[in-house]
Amino acid sequence: MKTWLTLLFLSLLHIQTFAEARVIISNGTLIDGHNPDRPNMTMILSGDEILSIQSSTEAFDIQPDDHLIDATDKFIIPGLWDAHVHLTFIPDLDYVTSYRLFLSQGITSIRDTGALITKLQPAIDYVEANPGITPRLFFSGPLIDGKDRVYKGEEPGFPNLSIGIDEQDNVEDTVDRLVSDGATFLKSYEMLSQPTYLELLRIAKKKNLRVTGHIPLSIDLTEAVKAGLGGMQHIRNMDLACSNNAESMHEIRQVKLQNKDGIPGSALRTAIHQAQRFPSIANYDQARCEKIIQLLSDYGVYQTPTLTINTLDAKRYFADPNWRKNYNHLPDSVRKRWEQESILAAKDPVSENGLIFQEWSMKLVKLFDDNEVKILAGTDTPIGYLTPGFSLHKELELLVEAGLSAKAALRAATLSPAEFFNLESTMGTLDEGKVADILILNQNPIENIQHTQDIFRVIVKGSVANFGS
């Protein structure tokens, strides 16, 4: 008994000591998406909190257990977010590997935008059990789709990520179950009927939840925005919304959605987009597009463009041997498959539609920024041979290429995701009292956004990150 009590005491002492230990970062330049740049500053972190920020010329007491980091000639930014990931999309890409890769690249928060809770639960539990080696995890739970749902696990390339509901179901019960499972936002999908989608938006608004996702094919974007849409993914439905023949195209959609031939949801969704996307882009109407984008801005709708996906065919990252080196961080089964598939895919010529879609996507992102639409940096990793962590830096590069300033791109990966969750008082900038998620860079990211990849230290939840094995 005495031995057991001694061990217990020592264990508690260790926990207490760890909790009281501080991290002190001195002599660095602070950069975030809200404050002016602040050179030669010292930050004191205590637990998971930025305790104080002061000029490095001011004296401060050093305690024996303090972890000192000299950031002379270095640049300190908030930890990054990837606001669109799918942890369960590839079963043999395990969440432990994904977490390690996210942290190694300075991504201290991720937003999972579609996974069955039963499959995601081990990843949730791992975060709770291992705070010092995992990013913060926010999740929607499954894609909320219609009865002809797309991701139901029955067709190649479409794993089971969704639930299907319609006006016959109790939408509020569905939302309550997801919230009880830990969901902090909702992800809608394309095969929802108009009445069900509008009810989902109504219930979500009542419960102070944002609904983001793909806009259902059954509804006009303007109607969705005015009904309470919280966010959009992949610039979906902007093709139709920005087209001068939107009304006639929408009518055609509704006929196809009756699905008299009983086509699987995945095939029907794909067929509609293939038939309408590029004719809609060909009929692009600048004035109409600016009007709908201004509406998004006025209603506070967040946009996650995922340019890494939208430009995939044109940019061909997977054709670059240097990009494929990232695959070495993946489990062998995934690495070998991605190498084989991406090398084969790289032999195909860039399609004309791929170039058109890239140009159109970049143009719209610039319009979002010009009209003060809140942009979130997200990648859709691991879809499209996008390695967790590394792909977020590519997304930042593309946002800048589209016309955002480097500071605006940083804001899209720091402050704006925090604002999406109404967490801007605790996350997203370098201020006293905020959480201690911090990235120390060797070079200034404002001078070149690629400098976010030149990482000196990652601090997550107040601890200097251990990326695991």
The pLDDT value given to residue 303: 98
Task: State the maximum Cα–Cα separation within the chain, in Å, rounded to a whole number.
Answer: 81
Domains and CATH numbers, the chain: 78-432 (3.20.20.140)
The pLDDT value given to residue 237: 82
pLDDT in tens, 377-400: 999 999 999 999 999 999 999 999
Q: Look up residue 122 and give its two tokens.
A: 């081990």
The pLDDT value given to residue 11: 35
Long-range Cβ contact pairs of 294-299 (< 8 A, separation 24 or more): 294/371, 295/222, 295/225, 295/226, 296/225, 296/232, 296/368, 296/371, 296/373, 297/371, 297/372, 297/373, 299/225, 299/226, 299/229
- Residues of the chain with pLDDT below 70 are 1-20, 467-469
Which residues contact residue 163 at a Cβ distance below 8 angstroms, ignoring those fewer than 6 apart? 116, 142, 143, 144, 145, 149, 174
Residue 442 in contact with residue 467, Cβ under 8 Å? Answer: no
How many C-beta neighbours within 10 Å does residue 353 have?
14
The pLDDT value given to residue 468: 57
b/e for 317-349, b at 16 or more Cβ within 10 A?
Answer: bbbeeebbebbebbeeebbebbbeebeeeeeee
pTM as predicted: 0.93
- Distance, in Å, from the CA atom of 292 to the CA atom of 304, rounded to the nearest integer, reads 16
Q: Cα 11 vs. chain centroid, distance in angstroms?
A: 37
